[in-house]
Structure 1
């Protein structure tokens, strides 16, 4: 799966390895933190770890895409704050759910949106359960890797958000989108 063409591609192959190493290390760190998060200090460490991994700026801009430039700086900040909290909560819930799963790393390749690190999660307790493919789209900026999208079974987190957000904005407006996002957060109804 890793891209490897002589000369010019030797660097991207190493680049993919770095992206995979980043995902491996952060997955291990986050899984451990989620499992033992009991105190406020643990929760704070977990939040900081999520913030190191996820590029909320890109997630916010890409999930609104065409509507991003139409928003005021205050609206953008409010949207990004709520989205950040929703994504943290959803990622945490996902990590708890896959605690019984073994993650197999299948290398990486360069994609249009960044390096793609391919993984497959298998249930340790139920071998008959279908494995789940989870691809992480990561970019390096300022010497630091961050996840800009998570694609589960071919379904992009950013594309799903964009589709949902566009539908709500077209029908009911941006303020309704914010209201619904806040409501989901308050109810703990995260996916």
Structure 2
């Protein structure tokens, strides 16, 4: 999972302009290029202000955190009250940002090869496949699942080497809920975030 969070920022809220390239593919391709250039040029680390600005301005707007959290919580999501759902989204979002921020420094990005996407104009759920090269090891695949929300595309799951973020968390979340209930999961996430606080982005 370390690799998974280390590359969350490679998708973001950029507008695709190339008419001959599907919007989801263009989004990933453009942002990958921009982020790589920024990291290499300024040698950014999670401690840098510019790094945090990149996460907040480019990464977070591209994710559908409500959908992502609902999928991770699974069948228990509908059992949660609106207040509980809001707390789950807030704490999970903070956890992902914190985990990403601490993990990204462990990888030295070299290149992101975005594979062509074949999709119909009516498609609203698309997977964008990439292959990431890093100085820390062999190239490995990262797949982004995006859904069309209005006129925008939002990421709602990521898989690294076939391991889904949603599936990975659903297992542990369900175990916690079965033992301590939904409030128990909220508390567990809040305690984890408090133990290693990170800058929480404003909504």
> TM-score interval w.r.t. the shorter chain?
0.7 to 0.9
| Cα 1:86–1:28 shift into 2, 3 Å | farther
Name the SS for the 1:130 alignment partner: strand
Structure 1 stretches of 5 or more lacking a match? 1-13
* 1:105/1:119 contact within 8 Å kept: yes
CA distance in 2, matches of 1:62, 1:142: 20
CA distance in 1, matches of 2:76, 2:20: 33
| Cα 1:93–1:143 shift into 2, 3 Å | farther
Structure number with the higher helix fraction is 1
CA distance in 2, matches of 1:15, 1:66: 39
2:99 maps to 90
CA distance in 2, matches of 1:28, 1:97: 19
CA distance in 2, matches of 1:121, 1:113: 25
Q: Which of 38, 53, 58 is residue 48 of structure 2 equivalent to?
A: 38
2:149 maps to 1:138: no
Structure 2 stretches of 5 or more lacking a match? 1-18, 199-203
Q: Which of 14, 22, 29 is residue 24 of structure 1 equivalent to?
A: 29
2:185 maps to 1:177: yes
Aligned residues: 172
Bigger Cα Rg: 1
Name the SS for the 1:68 alignment partner: helix
Counterpart mapping for 1:49-60 below 5 A:
49-60=58-69
2:16 maps to none
Residues 22-69 of structure 1: per-residue CA shift (max 9 Å, x gap): 012233444537927733x86355323222111101101111121111
Q: Which of 107, 115, 120 is residue 106 of structure 1 equivalent to?
A: 115
